[in-house]
Structure 1
Amino acid sequence: MNYQIELRHLHYFKVLAEELHFRRAAERLFIAQPGLSRQIKQLEEFYQTPLFLRDKRNVSLTNAGVYLKNEVDFLFNHLNSIKTQVEKIAEGKITSLKLGFIGSAVQAILPELLANLKHQQPLIDITLNELSNEIQLEMLLKNELDFGFVRIKETPIGLQSISILTDHFALVVPKSHPLAKTKKVNLQDFKQESFILFSKEYSKSYYELVMSIFQDQGFQPHVALKTVNALSIFNLVAQGIGIAIVPSSLKKGYHTHVDFLELQHIPQRTTLSLLWNQNNRNPGIELLLEILKKICPKES
């Protein structure tokens, strides 16, 4: 073998692994199809294993190819991060941070955290993305996010976490509901109601936790609608479509025509956590964590 693997080989592999079609991949890369085939052959010779399975109609990844694609995706994400950080440093900025969050983080901690971060580093670039728990975890593992505010049962391998706030739950009802002003909530009184819940796409473990509330109460709820957006839930409840169960902290910051009935007597609790990739070398990681330790509220 009289050549060495270069970054372009991995770039060609990445595009072909995404397209799984030599002609389309070659068009994306602006090279001739035989040239792409030659580059892939060199890569397979270098690793001494097939990376693609080919026949006249289909192209698919081998097990080795699947592994390499995951590693190459990580590599190129990291290279993009390096480029971004170098550009920010050249502009006199310490870094840029990409944060994912769920709605309850906005009420619990995020505004204060961002205000302190901007106060210490006025030129820092911050990108915010409201995303479901599951998408945040996927992006964190790929270093496509620097931090994620999530509600999950267990922290995945490769990620680190800090507990921000442990919430009890609250029942959300229209202000016109006959039991809206009740002091002591009995969920049995609501078992004939339609419920609007956060969907499994929001978080599978969170959804299962909420369903365990109903299991303890001995009834299966009629779920009218599912969504991943808190404000949508509140607006639907206000319009009489159903009632909801949400983390109690969500009652802060939303001005909607609903009442929150506290469910402090049930054992279920949900924890908002901050997650990050332990291999993330963004210089802003430690800065944000230092600020968080100073302002993080005590668990309730």
Structure 2
Amino acid sequence: MATVGRRSASTPRELARVGDRLSFVYLERCTVHRDANAITAEDGEGITHIPSATIGILLLGPGTRVTHQAMSVLGECGAGVVWVGERGVRFYAGGRSLSRSAALAEAQARAWANRATRLEVARAMYRMRFPDEDPAGLTRQQLLGREGKRVKEFYRKEAARVGMQWKGRRYVPGDFDSGDPLNQGVTAAAQCLYGVCHAVVAALGCIPGLGFVHSGHELSFVLDIADLYKTEIGIPVAFDTAAQSPEEVGPRTRRAIRDRINEDRFLDRCVADVQRLFLPEGADSALADDTVDRVALQTDRGGEVESGRNYADGVIW
């Protein structure tokens, strides 16, 4: 009788393309196990079977337990696994990336390693946040100055819109309750966006620590990406929530951000934005192709040669 341990791993061509998979599956308060090439989610209501090859990324929420066999089949089919907070709001830890290609990580590293291209990406991020302004030619100091001015003005406008007084951004790490309702909402919204963007960055195989605006932190790039949506999503949702009631602003803001993310198909947009920063137009489709595992060897001249062969007899490098 065959056991799970004797099953052969699926080849890339046997797997569903990323574009044909579910974007994510969220589970909570259940035990995740394996049955043949499917995963099962068992809770008090019974057992649900989920074909593992159809999962883009599995989000494991509070109260989940996952077996070694379940993780094995998820790894074989190339699904990403992320441990998150309730309803997928916060990112705690992640397994392998969803992408089988290193193209995006390499493109990010190349752009980060050169000071000129690093600044160009920072300008591109500014342009994505404020499309009515062209940051071409701006220095980093000028970018930061303009960004700070626009965000301060946006805080004031949003406060006037909801009819509340804005006293400035104040946040004491570790003391959430010390902030007024507006500040509590902004903090909660930011934490949500950090978690969701971290999940996207991890799934795409990008390098969280290589930031283009932020620097020195293990999540610098995550902070960069989350800031793209601060004035469009984070601050408006936070101010709307705080204006409704000063009670439980944090939990209500997190739920409101979750609903907004679902309504706007935010995950698809975030993925596209990250790819647009580093890849030439049209290259993202190659990343989504999981039908081929491509491994090459680097050469001294910057090119690549075929892997899987012996070069003892010499080759033009």
- TM-score, normalized by the shorter chain, greater than 0.5: no
Higher strand share goes to which structure?
A: 1
Choose 1 or 2 for highest CA Rg.
1
Q: TM-score, normalised by structure 2?
A: 0.27
The normalised TM-score by structure 1 is: 0.29
